[in-house]
Chains A and B, each alone.
Chain A
Amino acid sequence: DVKVTQSSRYLVKRTGEKVFLECVQDMDHENMFWYRQDPGLGLRLIYFSYDVKMKEKGDIPEGYSVSREKKERFSLILESASTNQTSMYLCASRGTGRVNEQYFGPGTRLTVT
């Protein structure tokens, strides 16, 4: 069974703080993704990575950066958290099968005050 874990389920940070969200997958997948989920807006792609040290911007990368130093780990960084980054953050990984299913972690609910 594929497992995608995220470092925290709930996080509360202050405006201006640097925030790290960690994601680890155990299936040796090349592709990993960070999304944010907001009510009525579905999932929006922030960044993705198709290999170690490789990253590509998604639809809403502003205010975020990422790091992929090891294949199993993909980190999302908020350099200076703002209240409009209060959201649910979901990490996913994807293998190379025909269906290309994405496997999701449980999410981190981040509140920036």
Chain B
Amino acid sequence: GEDVEQSLFLSVREGDSSVINCTYTDSSSTYLYWYKQEPGAGLQLLTYIFSNMDMKQDQRLTVLLNKKDKHLSLRIADTQTGDSAIYFCAERNAGNMLTFGGGTRLMVKP
């Protein structure tokens, strides 16, 4: 079945760039998503990329997709303490269902 893997934890200093990585197995993925979960809250869609793109930029966020290696990354430039959260990578399969990774907890130190 489909599998999505992420590292569990990332710590960066305020002002540095953060890079959160994700690998997936389903080659039929149509869209890939990054969701953010702040403490005590549900998930909120941060950004997404269509599978025929290799890069998408949205202000401080850059998503890179390497379809050959099934690797997705999220880069946050000039990371702020407000970016501290859990980030989930998710893929949408041909059946329109999402498979989520385990989540990466980003800690930003002042």
Q: Identify the A interface with B (CB < 8 A).
A: 4, 35, 40-45, 48, 90, 92, 99-102, 104-107
A-B contact count, CB below 8 Å? Answer: 46
Measured in the bound complex, the distance between the Cα atoms of B99 and A45 in whole Å is: 8
B26 to chain A, nearest CB (A): 14
Measured in the bound complex, the distance between the Cα atoms of B102 and A42 in whole Å is: 4
Say whether B42 contacts A4, CB under 8 Å. Answer: yes
Measured in the bound complex, the distance between the Cα atoms of B6 and A41 in whole Å is: 10
What secondary structure prevails in chain A residues at the interface with B?
strand
Q: Identify the B interface with A (CB < 8 A).
A: 4, 6, 8, 31, 33, 35, 40-45, 48, 88, 92, 96-98, 100-103
B41's partner among A92, A101, A106 (CB-CB below 8 A) is A106
Q: List 30 A-B contacts (CB under 8 A).
A: A4-B42, A35-B100, A40-B103, A42-B88, A42-B101, A42-B102, A43-B43, A43-B88, A43-B100, A44-B100, A45-B97, A45-B98, A48-B97, A90-B42, A90-B43, A92-B42, A99-B31, A99-B48, A100-B31, A100-B96, A101-B33, A101-B45, A102-B45, A104-B35, A104-B42, A104-B43, A104-B44, A105-B42, A107-B40, A107-B41
